[in-house]
Amino acid sequence: MISQRSDLTFKHNLKQGRHGWLRLTPAYSIKIVQNVLASIGKPEFVLDPFSGTGTTGLVCAELGIKSDLVEINPFLVWLAAAKIAHYHADELDAANALARDVASKVCQNMTVDDLWIPPLNYIDRWWLTERLIVLANLFDRLKNICGETAAVKLCLIAFCKVVINWSNAAFNHQSMSFKKHHQRFLPEERDMIINDFITQVQQIAASAKLPVLSKVTIHQGDSRCLDRLLSRTYDCVITSPPYPNRMSYIREVRPYMYWLGFLKSAREAGELDWQAIGGTWGIATSRLRWWQPGNMKIPHEGFENTIEQISVQSPILGNYVHKYFRDIATHIDRLSRVLAAGAKIYYIVGNSKFYDTLVPVEQIYMSLLREYGFSNVSSAVLRKRNSKKELYEFAVSADWLG
């Protein structure tokens, strides 16, 4: 029987040094990357075209393997760059000193009107007003520091952790939801939030002491345009694209993006999700209503029937799934143009179910890889994803013979 294997999910990363700096539910476990690298030996240059929080790049850096990452979300590019950076001891000492200084200057009598508050829709769902005031007070002290030094970056990551620790967000859902029971602010919480910030900086600085052993370059851009973004070839690809299950990355990272200035409006969030593969936030969903597939065919037997079955229940969802695989087809085509002969390819993907229609994601990926000239295409089950018996995570692998 195949189990859920939490050690192959983001949960395993939470206590693994830099890998645990910020959680992202769709992120995969460092174990998967480590196992792939152990099975093929030491590649010369690894590519992750859907790098998210930088898991693949950081594992490679820890093992002394060079890698390039591609990610369309500017916040995730910023976060991954911070995770894979080399830090000197004086920079880590400066981060701890900065945290203590910021904490000491938090004022007690400020109100919402005195502080900058991120323009996040329905912000009262996220934080009690009193907690929001403390958080905004901390951020006000941080944002007034000139320049984004290494110490500031580490403090901002710690602030992001505190923002979620003291929010109403609940992670008992596959992505994120909000706690429904009534909460009230306790007088001691102000000091608890400030102390949590100092503690998080200390823990992040401690985990940043371990050196990275190789260079990682992060490119902000679209994985459907790899041949225009990248100027070299790669002998290994390890990646996990967004799954076609409408779990928007934007939804989970929105609070960080608003606080740090990567987003200023809901429309910007929707625009970014529309640019991403699998994006469904805000206007991305409304645009799907008018989307047309054009002449590109997905070379998988039964694909058109799958889309028709979903479209009977929801034409928008039918378009969503169709667009997802059209985008993945474009990506795989462009990927083949930046590979060295003999390259090893690994996609970590999950299947999805819409109403009563199961989408065999791993099989469609295999069909696409064969269509675009890859050899030795295969798939292996990694784990059961959740309580729905049909949903699994797979490793789809292939070779590029050139």
Where does residue 17 fall: left (phi above 0), alpha (psi -120 to 50 degrees), or beta otherwise?
Answer: left
pLDDT string in tens for the chain (402-residue length): 677 677 666 777 778 788 999 988 777 888 999 999 999 988 999 999 999 999 999 999 999 999 999 999 999 999 999 999 999 999 999 999 999 999 998 887 778 888 999 999 889 889 999 999 999 999 999 988 867 899 999 999 999 999 999 998 876 555 566 776 567 778 889 999 999 999 999 999 999 998 898 999 999 999 999 999 999 999 999 999 988 876 677 888 999 999 999 999 989 998 999 999 988 778 888 888 889 888 889 999 999 999 999 999 999 999 999 999 999 999 999 999 999 999 999 999 999 999 999 999 999 999 999 999 999 999 999 888 776 678 889 999 999 998
Using CA atoms, how far apart are residues 397 and 376, in angstroms rounded to an integer? 8
Does this model's pTM top 0.85? My answer is yes
Tokens matching residue 215: 């260079």
- Which residues of 117-181 form beta strands (DSSP E)? 169-170, 177-178
Q: What is the DSSP letter of 282?
A: T
Instruction: Tell me the DSSP string of 23-92.
Output: --TTPBPHHHHHHHHHHH---SEEEESS-TTTHHHHHHHHHT-EEEEEES-HHHHHHHHHHT----HHHH
Angle between helices 129-143 and 189-207 (to 10 degrees): 50
Enter the tokens of residue 400: 């590029």
- Domains in the chain: ranges and CATH: 6-86+212-400 (3.40.50.150), 89-207 (no CATH)
CA 217 – CA 240 distance, rounded (Å): 18
Q: Report the distance separating Cα 55 and Cα 57, nearest Å.
A: 6
| CA 67 to the chain's CA centroid | 18
Residues near 387 by Cβ (< 8 Å), separated by ≥ 6? Answer: none
